[in-house]
Amino acid sequence: MALIKCEECGREISSQAEFCPHCGKPSLVLRCPICKSTDISTMSTGGSLAVALSNIFMAGPMAQPVKRNTCKKCKHQW
């Protein structure tokens, strides 16, 4: 377990905490919803020329590439 600084209040909290016990801000650490591991890889899909062009000419969710998370420990994907 390591101590990290809360982005909201600046106090030290456990790297395994799901939220800051001082101010209540949720942790920014990405965790696997199955095994709670923080050893996660994130891959963007749909980062094609069409997405890049739609980012230039359009706004909104259609312009966002899809991100795929994979837990390196249990292989769960979400």
Using 50, 70 and 90 to split pLDDT, how confident is the model at 43? confident
Q: Are 23 and 6 in contact (CB under 8 A)?
A: yes
pTM for this one? 0.53
Domain edges within the chain: 1-29, 31-78
At 18-41, the pLDDT tens digits run: 889 999 998 878 889 999 898 999
Phi, psi of 71 (to 5 degrees): -80, 125
